[in-house]
Structure 1
Amino acid sequence: MLKKPFVTKAQLEAICEKYPTPFHLYDEKGIRETARNLYKAFSWNKGFKEYFAVKATPNPTILKILHEEGCGTDCSSLTELMMSERCGIVGDEIMFSSNDTPAEEFVKAKELGAIINLDDITHIDFLKETAGIPETICCRFNPGGVFELGTDIMDNPGDAKYGMTRPQLTEAYKRLKELGAKKFGLHAFLASNTVSNEYYPELARILFNVAVEIKEETGVELSFINLSGGVGIPYTPDKEPNDIFVIGEGVRKAFEEVLVPAGLGDIKIFTELGRYMLAPNGHLVTRAIHEKHTHKEYIGVDACAANLMRPAIYGAYHHITVMGKEDAPCDHKYDVTGSLCENCDKFAVDRMLPKIDIGDLLVIHDAGAHGFSMGYNYNGRLRSAEILLKEDGSTEMIRRAETPEDYFRTLEGFNF
């Protein structure tokens, strides 16, 4: 699959006249289309709702766009709850899925009427003492072991810190019912960034069977099942993207085969997608400012790992387009580097690209999720602006770039 930017070189040059590089650029049209297709794929389920994972792209403008398309928010911290509230997203449009949760965060979630998703059985009494048990409550399940699709090991839930064991799950629902909870949900996340149409249907079948068992063991009939995230994107151009319609149909089939015969056909299906919703709809735009010829060939750009950490911390691949040279031969091998005093600050290693000249604009693909949000200030580097490419072709700054004054603002007793 050929990865193409959602902007042309001419468009991008015009944008760069207004906003200096580096910056994150988001495609409103693509975001809305992704949300609409997700809802179409799950339209068979009356109560379906997407709770966008705020951690992926915590920007109010993005949250409001998705809210207009019917999405709620998945929050995991106090500030994410506050951001949702300020966007007018409250009540059961918020899923609060956290771990090692401070008391004040449970209190805020309860105050907002958010659906609280308990990560551990010990959190029941902690929640009871700090905020009280709400009428609607969810429990997070971790089956342990490894999660496999066919012969492929997709992930290792047994090593994950999240969720309750299967016996704990039964005990949790019994206890919550005793404490006055009336509506119950089930949540699980077993694998990250799966590029497979089989992941969600397989996860759904596991959770649907657990729902039937819970009904038999406790008398609790679940109101909703949250498939969480894990539906990924192809970062490399050699992979085909997931087909959300095939995925939705696979989940429907499992629903009809497992839940309907058990009298649980009214269960609502929720999702908490972040990467799938936003990653392909965001670019990190940067400019080549240096070239270096030593033991290797280097191209230095004005972005760094402070703007996109994934390549530095995971060795993750992000495709790079040299704007205006899309059809030129990729006959030069480069390391594309940032300016941090860390050798891992590289967007690409030994990447075959067209010849890059000083001043060329580079688009780093699939940076719309876990891009800006994972930014940091090592070396005193400042996080860049976020720009929205609107459906009519105009642009809007939805977060300004940080300034040195922002960096120094929390320092007490010093005058800079």
Structure 2
Amino acid sequence: MKKPFVTLEQLQEMTKTYPTPFHLYDEKGIRENARKLKAAFAWNPGFKEYFAVKATPNPTILKILHEEGCGTDCSSLTELMMADRCGFSGSEIMFSSNDTPAEEFVLAAKLGATINLDDFTHIDFLKDTIGYIPETISCRFNPGGTFSIGASEEGFQVMDNPGEAKYGFTREQLFEGFKKLKAMGAKHFGIHAFLASNTLSNEYYPTLSGILFQLAVDLKKETGCDIRFINLSGGVGVPYRPEQPANDIAAIGEGVRKQYEAILTPAGMGDVAIFTELGRFMLAPYGHLVTKATHFKHTYKEYVGVDACAANLMRPAMYGAYHHITVMGKENAPCDHKYDVTGSLCENNDKFAVDRMLPEIDLGDLLVIHDTGAHGFSMGYNYNGRLRSAEVLLKEDGSTELIRRAETPDDYFATLIW
């Protein structure tokens, strides 16, 4: 059973200051999780987590992670700007983009970020854009074909299809790319790959690391390039459903260590650093969307309307994704009522839950929608003129802090030319 990290009494007090809906984050949980990840890879002296800014682009959250030793993974101009303003600098920033505009490479280079190239043609584009090839450079690898392991968010076998993904170099392009970059002045190299999303398997990272470690050995042997780091990117998931088992990050780290000692160490590459770019794993469980029951509708189904909508959390509407819902104060009540939990958008897919068994809901009840700490607020939008909600931090001492105010109509109209 999923339990909220906040009590009804706490939420009732918060709503006196912060009208629903709002996104709430748990500082204590975020810090503890970051420390668990760091401990799991402590065997690798160069280990660093580069938090995927796209998951939760909030300065307060980024500063908390910075204090815990994390860097940032950025994929756009504004994410680079945010990382810079939050105090990240140089090698604390990884820039992984695709179909990249020139101005983004310019800023990444200016900030001293490690640039992770997505395509062979970007080698010349980068050189033409900034006038040189950085001494440290990374390339994204796409092995093609299909990749299968473990369980996905919905509990099925993960069967991702890298061959259909728009990202990365082929193996042949990667070897040629390393040779070309070395000839153009690059001295230190990294390898990056992402093969599957939100895996619920302790075997994903070890399996991926085995592929990348052997690739690194082959690259060094054929190209002579100095490979300094291997970036396992993201893909370690979280259990959105209460019956799903959580990943064991300590077991995952140990699995990667075994691959490292079996492949890299014997090849004389025991000084290679391991990087990760986790977003969902780092933040999703430590965010709630807090909303209030505002309407009921009794037609062919039983509907409960809430004051949040897909503009606040679009994953259920976009992917049919499951997010657990707790009716606060009724945690121990029987789930004997079937509801569709809906928002107010003029779209039929604006539903947080379909045919969900929940306790009987009364008007004014506060609902917590779980696991919204990543890809929750960040995917918000203004369809139907709906305004994005506030973000609030539940601090370690139990107090709260507004870390992003709610949008107003003035914000919505600010960019219009009348």
Does TM-score exceed 0.5, indicating one fold?
A: yes
Superposition deviation, residue 71 in structure 1:
0.2
Please tell me whether the aligned partners of residues 49 and 269 of structure 1 are also in contact (alpha carbons under 8 angstroms): yes
Q: Which runs of 4+ in 1 moved over 6 A?
A: none
Structure 2 CA distance for aligned equivalents of residues 411 and 133 of structure 1: 40
Match of 1:145 in 2: 145
Match of 1:76 in 2: 75
The answer to whether structure 1 residue 405 and structure 2 residue 410 are counterparts is yes
Q: How does 1:268-347 map to 2 (within 5 A)?
A: 268-347=273-352
Structure 2 CA distance for aligned equivalents of residues 169 and 361 of structure 1: 52
Structure 2 CA distance for aligned equivalents of residues 149 and 403 of structure 1: 45
RMSD of aligned alpha carbons? 0.8
Question: 371, 374, 378: which is aligned to 1:369?
Answer: 374
The answer to whether structure 1 residue 386 and structure 2 residue 385 are counterparts is no
Please tell me whether the aligned partners of residues 221 and 264 of structure 1 are also in contact (alpha carbons under 8 angstroms): no
Letter in 1 for 2:21: P
Structure 1 CA distance for aligned equivalents of residues 212 and 91 of structure 2: 21
The answer to whether structure 1 residue 66 and structure 2 residue 65 are counterparts is yes
Matched residue SS, 1:222: strand
Superposition deviation, residue 150 in structure 1:
7.0
Match of 2:122 in 1: 123
Letter in 2 for 1:15: M
Match of 1:250 in 2: 255
Match of 1:186 in 2: 191
Superposition deviation, residue 262 in structure 1:
0.3
Matched residue SS, 1:223: strand
Match of 1:135 in 2: 135
Deviations 1:277-297 (CA, angstroms, capped at 9, x unpaired): 000000000000000100000
Please tell me whether the aligned partners of residues 51 and 271 of structure 1 are also in contact (alpha carbons under 8 angstroms): yes
Please tell me whether the aligned partners of residues 228 and 273 of structure 1 are also in contact (alpha carbons under 8 angstroms): yes
- Unmatched runs of 5 consecutive residues or more in structure 1: none
Structure 1 CA distance for aligned equivalents of residues 41 and 333 of structure 2: 41
Letter in 1 for 2:49: E
- Unmatched runs of 5 consecutive residues or more in structure 2: 152-156
Match of 1:41 in 2: 40
Please tell me whether the aligned partners of residues 30 and 283 of structure 2 are also in contact (alpha carbons under 8 angstroms): yes
Structure 1 CA distance for aligned equivalents of residues 412 and 176 of structure 2: 48
Structure 1 CA distance for aligned equivalents of residues 111 and 225 of structure 2: 25
Please tell me whether the aligned partners of residues 150 and 200 of structure 2 are also in contact (alpha carbons under 8 angstroms): no
Deviations 1:134-175 (CA, angstroms, capped at 9, x unpaired): 110000000011101279443111111000000000000000
The answer to whether structure 1 residue 204 and structure 2 residue 203 are counterparts is no
Please tell me whether the aligned partners of residues 211 and 221 of structure 1 are also in contact (alpha carbons under 8 angstroms): no
The answer to whether structure 1 residue 221 and structure 2 residue 236 are counterparts is no
The normalised TM-score by structure 1 is 0.98
Match of 2:3 in 1: 4
Letter in 2 for 1:31: I
Aligned residues: 412
Structure 2 CA distance for aligned equivalents of residues 330 and 157 of structure 1: 40
Superposition deviation, residue 387 in structure 1:
0.1
User: What's the % identity of the aligned pairs?
Assistant: 77
Please tell me whether the aligned partners of residues 149 and 201 of structure 2 are also in contact (alpha carbons under 8 angstroms): no
